[in-house]
Structure 1
Amino acid sequence: MSGLAEAVETVLRYRRPDPDCWDAVVDAVCTEHPSYDAERVLVQAGTAITRHTDRIAVDLRRQQGAFGTAVGHGVKVRALALAGAGDLRALPALHRLAEHGGLPYMRPQARVMAGLPPAALAAVMRTKLRRDSDDYHGNTTTLEVLALCGPAAAPAVDDVAGRLGTQFTYDAMRVLGRIGPAAAVTADRLTAYATGRVTPAHPYRRRAAWAHWKVTGDPTLALDVCGAAVRSGTASHGLPFLADLGPLAAEHAAPVRRLMESPGAWTRTYAAHAYWRITGDPERAVPVLLAEVDPAWEGSPAVPVRQAVHHLGEIGAPAAPAAPLLRGILAREERLGQPFAGVRILADRAYARTLTDALEGING
């Protein structure tokens, strides 16, 4: 047991643990009496356990029983581990879990499934959305994962649109916008939110206007509503949408540039990204974004470090001054610190992926 405890601690603590540690974790899961701690980290493993997916798939079938219908905790752990590794053998079990309420209700764990093809994942999440008609976490988590599927979530348009006018309106709008033209049937309802005809409209107006643009291709409403937000002082709520609009939002470049000097870190980061997207000028944006990249960051969501890194990667070669700092952060041995070890690997993997992608973008 001490050997397993050490292996679990190692994979939780270090970005590049010895493969033997993951071997020990898999061994501890694929037994008659699996270790809870080993299961907790296996779900977060991603591609680190790719060489063990055949064994995990066999153990998943054992957990499901002779008829493949079981949907308990053990099935969920193994199906999520396979999904994180991008293994399609997870799908039948995930569908069964979605039908019976067995999928994760918390967002970090649910995002593990994003390793699967978007269309296949969207089908699973549509089943879950239909089942969890009223559950708060079930809806918000499912809608977030559906948004990650983008246009592949088009078959779920009616189900998602059914959340408009509920406590899930804001999340539903994000999904509809990500789906794009296939969700054009919702344009009139989005217009009603964006123009304030549906009350209470706040805080939906900007997201509704953005979603209207994405489903119709007409940016007029989004430019008006999101531009007004930037001019009115509620800047951080309009800036990400103006960034998405890019050069179409050229008339708003001046107020966006002023907001790069805001006292709020998130507003500065959003403004720098939006200014670059609108103008194509990296000279003002890069120093602002680089200033937000704290090498000692421990993952606090109150600080936009990861977002700043992502935007530097989008800018590419003009952000070359950031490369040494990003390489240094990526090279560190210990994972990003988190108050809850239950998501530590997930949080660090996401940050490491952002750092890697940013360096690839900068290096061309």
Structure 2
Amino acid sequence: MFTGIDEVDWASMAHAYGSAEDVPELLRGLMSPRPEERERALDGMYGAVHHQGDVYDSTLACIPFLFALIARGDLKDRGEVVELLVSIGGGAQDPGDSPGARDGTGADDRPVNGNYAMARTAVRAGAAVFAALVEDPDPQVRRAVPTALVRFADDPARVLGLLRGRIEEEADARVRPALTEGLGLFARLYPGVAAPAVACLAELSTAAGDPGLRLAALGQLAGCAPERLPADLVPTVVGLLRTRSERLRVPDEPERPHTDTLIGHLRRLRPADEEGSQLLRTLHSGLGGRVGDRIALLSGQLTSPGSADRCNAVWMSAGLFREWRASYAEPVALIGEQLGADDERLRDAAISVLEDLFTLAAPAADQLAALVQGRPEYRVRHWEHGAPTLGGALKALARTRDPRAIPVLAQLLEQPTVPKDLGYVIADTGPGSASLAPLLRARLADVPLDSRDLYDRAAPLLLALAALEDGAALPAVLRLAHGMAGDPRLREPLLEAVARTLGALGTPEAIPALRELLDSECAVTAAAALWSVEGDADAVLPLLRRELAAGRPHRRRAAEALGRLGPDARSALPGLRRLLDSEDVWERTAGACAVWRITGDPEPVLPVFHAAWTQRVYTRGTIAGCLAEFGPAPAPTHDLLRTELAQPRRHLARAGGFSGHDIIEDERLLRACREGVAGG
């Protein structure tokens, strides 16, 4: 069916991991009669061809073949291919999260460039296929199509007609919420002609009968017409959720294979009631900053008799915790209670949320400890490809800094194979893990210097030993510094890790090795480490001033290192002051922090801090930490710090983005802001 696929020069194209010559095999795998082969092929498409949302030349070349796949009614899992096409076309983001919503007269104006623009154009060109699938016999396809149709079809009137007509005819309870979601998306994309869609949603939100359909309509109204929501929204929604749960019979889904792919792992984490999960996700997204209402909704659902309801609430909590600042002790404690449930899916969901909360997960520490101590299978996670990692329950417990995690981490350090992220997690556990230092030293001493994965094995251990400031680790670290081999491309980052660790150990015996590293690729890091150990500014100033004048890529790090020297780096001030006019916001920020630390004079750097704070939110933690370093910050910066403390939204919260450290970085920012205004 893939006419011309072998004529495409795939070997000349690329994806995330190099040559795209394996793409035809992935495409053919999507049409395999064997479900495990289809799952591995889909995993490969997301993992390589569309890695983290990227669009490569090979991604563009796949688009016509993906359209050919979804047009074949006899193939399985076509709904997932529709979702893949939507993502490739750039349709995964909600227009409410960024400017550029359509006004009903033209195309989506959000700026896209290069391959992304071509991908959107290509998917839009094939959108007629989506219209033909609105009545497809496969309910999975009918569920996926409304979003694709609204985002990529060019005739708003026809799209609205198709959605409204299909809602009246659709009998499948899994598909009706997707059609309702399509109406809400239409209203947000086409605000100029949204009135009929909003009216339809308002009517559905009060209709007798299906509570799930009412919930779907309320969720869409929250996002496109919040003024149409009922005044008693929370009790209404909680009541509808309970009624729906009492009536719920989860429809039979196609049997899925059990593969150790990322796609398979994520699928197993999905709630049994995916429709309910989507309903709640949509409602929470529409409610946005109404955090009190959202916590009340979660608390009501986390105490529901049905495990599917509780599982949905657990997943919804993740976005709330990550995006909004509030006191979450109550919902976190309720999530911890789910760890004792018989439902494996519910336990896994709770673990997945708790492991990214760090110390905010403390209200669930007792339940985490009970799971880790009583169920060894929750200590390590094994994968089909690659080294094992720490189990989420143990990671969550360790990140709360609970001492009950330490003996379990020690047992893992004594095993033949150590989870590859173990050292990173130990670095997060704080001084209470000092007893692990001898085991960490022994593991580092055993790492083969000619290992192909030398960096992956050594870097986490180095980070942990640096965090523990374990001076006794010096021989093992020096062995690595003097004897490393392996991939030359990894030499520089590994030397960086070695230099940082030597500086953190703080022992005079590290000085000769650090002086040797002044002539290496990590000279700036070595200079900063040498000064922290030896305290001799004259030994490192010439090198740091030279690097500061040499330009990128080391200029920013040289400025950061000079700032650590404080007043001893006064001779570098002319170069640092020039850095205040850099085109790069990070260089300006580093230069301003260094000038502040060296001179103690806030006047020349405050304009830089103010501009960077607004221009690039990622600089806020650095700036706040610098301002708070010497006690209460200068009064002219209090407006920045107090405004940040008053903001309900976390500074790194962003639609479609996620990092496991977003929450802890925001908490550190808030702590620095509080310190900066203390006494002010």
Deviation at 1:214? 2.5
Aligned pairs for 1:150-189 (under 5 A) are: 152-165=469-482, 166=484, 167=491, 168-180=494-506, 182=507, 184-189=508-513
Write the letter of the residue equivalent to 1:188: P
Structure 1 residues 99 and 332: alpha-carbon distance in aligned structure 2, compared to 1, 3 A threshold: farther
**Which segments of 5 or more consecutive residues in structure 2 lack a partner in the other structure?**
1-307, 383-389, 485-490
Measure, in 2, the Cα distance between the counterparts of 1:29 and 1:130.
37
**Is 1:5 aligned with 2:5?**
no
Measure, in 2, the Cα distance between the counterparts of 1:16 and 1:128.
41
SS in 1 for 2:583: coil
Name the counterpart of 1:313. 628
Measure, in 2, the Cα distance between the counterparts of 1:219 and 1:347.
35
Structure 1 residues 22 and 229: alpha-carbon distance in aligned structure 2, compared to 1, 3 A threshold: same
Structure 1 residues 311 and 269: alpha-carbon distance in aligned structure 2, compared to 1, 3 A threshold: same
Aligned to 1:16, which of 314, 326, 339? 326
SS in 2 for 1:333: coil
Name the counterpart of 1:246. 566
Deviation at 1:296? 8.1
Structure 1 residues 269 and 130: alpha-carbon distance in aligned structure 2, compared to 1, 3 A threshold: same
Measure, in 2, the Cα distance between the counterparts of 1:186 and 1:111.
23
Residues 272-297 of structure 1: CA distance to partner in whole angstroms, max 9, x if unpaired? 11111111211112221222113883
Aligned to 2:372, which of 15, 39, 60? 60
Measure, in 1, the Cα distance between the counterparts of 2:446 and 2:320.
37
Quick check: 2:379–2:394 contact (8 Å CA) kept in 1?
no
Residues 298-353 of structure 1: CA distance to partner in whole angstroms, max 9, x if unpaired? xxxxx53321222222254443333333333334334432555461xx31222222
Name the counterpart of 1:232. 550
Measure, in 2, the Cα distance between the counterparts of 1:123 and 1:98.
10
Write the letter of the residue equivalent to 1:8: W
**Is 1:190 aligned with 2:525?**
no
Name the counterpart of 2:336. 26
More displaced stretch, 217-226 vs 353-362 = 353-362
Measure, in 2, the Cα distance between the counterparts of 1:103 and 1:306.
30
Q: Over aligned residues, Cα RMSD in angstroms?
A: 3.0
Quick check: 2:466–2:505 contact (8 Å CA) kept in 1?
yes
Deviation at 1:228? 1.6
**Is 1:284 aligned with 2:571?**
no
Measure, in 2, the Cα distance between the counterparts of 1:295 and 1:193.
36
Measure, in 2, the Cα distance between the counterparts of 1:21 and 1:4.
13
Deviation at 1:267? 0.9
**Under a length normalisation based on structure 1, what TM-score does the superposition of the two structures give?**
0.82
The alignment covers a number of residue pairs equal to 342
Measure, in 2, the Cα distance between the counterparts of 1:208 and 1:326.
33
Aligned pairs for 1:256-267 (under 5 A) are: 256-267=576-587
Quick check: 1:269–1:308 contact (8 Å CA) kept in 2?
yes
More displaced stretch, 114-123 vs 46-55 = 114-123
Aligned pairs for 1:295-310 (under 5 A) are: 297=617, 303-310=618-625
SS in 2 for 1:163: helix
More displaced stretch, 80-89 vs 127-136 = 127-136
**Which segments of 5 or more consecutive residues in structure 1 lack a partner in the other structure?**
298-302
Name the counterpart of 1:300. none
**Under a length normalisation based on structure 2, what TM-score does the superposition of the two structures give?**
0.46
Structure 1 residues 23 and 291: alpha-carbon distance in aligned structure 2, compared to 1, 3 A threshold: same
Aligned pairs for 1:12-161 (under 5 A) are: 12-14=319-321, 15-16=325-326, 18-32=328-342, 33=344, 35-64=347-376, 71-73=379-381, 76-100=391-415, 101-103=417-419, 105=421, 110=425, 113-117=428-432, 119-120=434-435, 122-123=437-438, 125-130=440-445, 132-133=447-448, 134=451, 135=453, 136-149=455-468, 152-161=469-478
Deviation at 1:225? 0.8
Measure, in 1, the Cα distance between the counterparts of 2:620 and 2:317.
25
Deviation at 1:54? 2.8
Measure, in 2, the Cα distance between the counterparts of 1:357 and 1:213.
25
Name the counterpart of 1:337. 653
SS in 1 for 2:480: coil
Write the letter of the residue equivalent to 2:510: T
Measure, in 1, the Cα distance between the counterparts of 2:412 and 2:355.
15
SS in 2 for 1:261: coil
**Is 1:206 aligned with 2:524?**
yes
Residues 146-200 of structure 1: CA distance to partner in whole angstroms, max 9, x if unpaired? 3333xx32121122222215321111100111221x2x22322322221x3xxxx
Measure, in 2, the Cα distance between the counterparts of 1:18 and 1:251.
49
Write the letter of the residue equivalent to 1:145: A
Structure 1 residues 40 and 295: alpha-carbon distance in aligned structure 2, compared to 1, 3 A threshold: farther
Aligned to 2:642, which of 321, 324, 327? 327
Name the counterpart of 2:226. none
**Is 1:215 aligned with 2:530?**
no
Structure 1 residues 173 and 293: alpha-carbon distance in aligned structure 2, compared to 1, 3 A threshold: same
Deviation at 1:218? 2.5
Quick check: 2:503–2:533 contact (8 Å CA) kept in 1?
yes
Write the letter of the residue equivalent to 2:411: R
Write the letter of the residue equivalent to 2:477: V
